[in-house]
């Protein structure tokens, strides 16, 4: 058990480092910060939710849609599996690495939101509008989990990176629509029900990833 935890930590750190130096992550993070600066000047109170939906959630898919395919083509995945690393450990390491990487632009956006507030230090946490906005932002942030697992599933099912990218973008569009459908739950004070649905979706996608990965045989 202790050895498996060490392997999980090593895989997570490896994937996290790979994401942080990738052109996808750096370019998307730059776009996020530029959009945050522009919309912050415009004074839009919902810009954080909009940016999360349009860019950050898409980034979750872009970091994972070829995670398995790329390592399979580079012959590093068979090497990892033949060293006794469990398949669940590989998937969890990749998902944790992607989620930790996504936390960085997420935190930067939160800091940008606080810094651009026209009334610093006067945000009323008991205010209904503030709580509603926080609920919507939390719901969009929670959607990062299913996006990461969906990206891994796409990478497991579709061997071609170009086709996988197409499916990833289509999946993003579908889930953005789903996010809009779930938004009324947060507005009506039922964000917990929406988050529970998102958590269930994450669990289902993880199970599908594990079942699909179980069929993979190292070359």
What gap in Å lies between CA 145 and CA 143, rounded to an integer?
5
Residues 119-163 have pLDDT tens digits of 544 444 444 445 555 555 566 667 788 889 999 999 999 988 889
Who wins on pLDDT, 38 or 69? 69
CA angle 150, 152, 154 (to 5 degrees): 70
Whole-number percent of the chain with pLDDT over 90: 24
Which residue is listed with tokens 């750190």?
A: 13
Q: What is the pTM of this model?
A: 0.81
* Per-domain residue ranges of the chain: 2-213
Tally of CB atoms within 10 A around 5? 10
């Amino acid at each position: 058990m202790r050895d498996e935890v060490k392997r999980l930590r090593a895989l997570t750190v490896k994937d996290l480092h790979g994401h942080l130096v990738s052109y996808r992550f750096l370019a998307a993070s730059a776009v996020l910060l530029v959009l945050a600066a522009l919309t912050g000047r415009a004074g839009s109170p919902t810009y954080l939710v909009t940016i999360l939906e349009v860019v950050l959630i898409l980034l979750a898919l872009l970091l994972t849609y070829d995670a398995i395919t790329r390592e399979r083509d580079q012959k590093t995945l068979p090497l990892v599996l033949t060293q006794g690393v469990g398949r669940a450990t590989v998937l969890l390491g990749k998902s944790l690495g992607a989620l930790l990487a996504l936390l960085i632009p997420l935190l930067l956006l939160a800091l940008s939101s606080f810094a651009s507030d026209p009334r610093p230090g006067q945000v009323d946490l008991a205010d209904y509008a503030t709580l509603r906005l926080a609920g919507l932002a939390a719901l969009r942030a929670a959607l990062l989990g299913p996006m990461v697992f969906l990206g891994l599933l796409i990478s497991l099912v579709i061997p071609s990176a170009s086709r996988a990218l197409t499916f990833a973008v289509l999946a993003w569009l579908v889930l953005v629509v789903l996010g809009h459908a779930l938004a009324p739950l947060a507005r009506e004070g039922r964000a917990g029900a929406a988050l529970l649905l998102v958590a269930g979706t994450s669990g289902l996608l993880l199970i599908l990833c594990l079942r699909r990965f179980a069929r993979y045989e190292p070359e």
